[in-house]
Chains A and B, each alone.
Chain A
Amino acid sequence: DAGVIQSPRHEVTEMGQEVTLRCKPISGHDYLFWYRQTMMRGLELLIYFNNNVPIDDSGMPEDRFSAKMPNASFSTLKIQPSEPRDSAVYFCASTDTSYEQYFGPGTRLTVT
């Protein structure tokens, strides 16, 4: 298996623009997680899905953030409009019943 796949790996955009981050989980994993990592706040859980259904989005910072999982092999995290304080590394992770999560390589987002 190729592991968790994220795209793009790097994204540079201007404030106010829409940003879409993509994730393909490991085949057969029924949980998918979106995290954000910054120096100031560390690793934060934004939202997670079980069997494509959002379970808890309490970590989503504000309404500018949204996430979808239209099928078992694809998820998106969208920021609209983007702001400089959204600059961070965004990780996607997936797991099955073995408990450990498998992380993608991350998307480094820079909003200018």
Chain B
Amino acid sequence: AQSVAQPEDQVNVAEGNPLTVKCTYSVSGNPYLFWYVQYPNRGLQFLLKYITGDNLVKGSYGFEAEFNKSQTSFHLKKPSALVSDSALYFCAVRDNSGYSTLTFGKGTMLLVSP
């Protein structure tokens, strides 16, 4: 069975500084990986995905993620954080059983201070 680990419950960063939110995964076969963001009192919003190809994936709002097969990681990054990036971030991996289910990590709260 597939699994996702987000080792940090919370990440604190100052506005303008680079940010990284960590994610590691376990899945049989080729991984399909995703990042979602959840703002307060909202549903999850899709940020980006890795299916195949370039290991550096660019997504919405200036976010990007780096797929590293040897380390089984898919860390979310942004060169310069904004206060408005403060939210809950989820990493997910797709089930390779043939159905489109996703296994989500427990989430990492990102707090960007002014």
Contact = CB atoms under 8 A, between A and B. Distances in A.
Interface of A, helix, strand, loop or mixed by DSSP: strand
Nearest to B90: A43
Interface of A: 4, 31, 33, 42-43, 45, 48, 50, 55-56, 91, 93, 95, 97, 99-106, 108
A41 B49 CA distance: 25
Interface stretch (B21-29, B65-73, B76-84, B101-109): B101-109
Which of the four size classes fits the interface of chain B? Answer: 20 to 34
25 contacts: A4-B43, A31-B99, A31-B100, A42-B104, A42-B106, A42-B107, A45-B102, A48-B99, A48-B101, A50-B99, A55-B99, A91-B44, A95-B100, A99-B34, A99-B51, A99-B94, A99-B100, A101-B44, A102-B46, A103-B36, A103-B45, A104-B43, A105-B42, A106-B42, A106-B43
Contact of B101 (A45, A97, A104, A105): A45
A66 B21 CA distance: 36
A72 to B, nearest CB: 16
Contacts of B104: 42-43
Given A45-B102, A104-B43, 20 more contacts: A31-B99, A42-B107, A43-B44, A43-B90, A43-B104, A45-B101, A48-B101, A55-B99, A56-B99, A91-B43, A93-B43, A95-B100, A99-B32, A99-B49, A100-B34, A100-B46, A103-B45, A105-B42, A105-B43, A106-B42
Contacts of B102: 45, 101
A104 B45 CA distance: 9
Given A42-B104, A43-B104, A101 B46 contact: yes
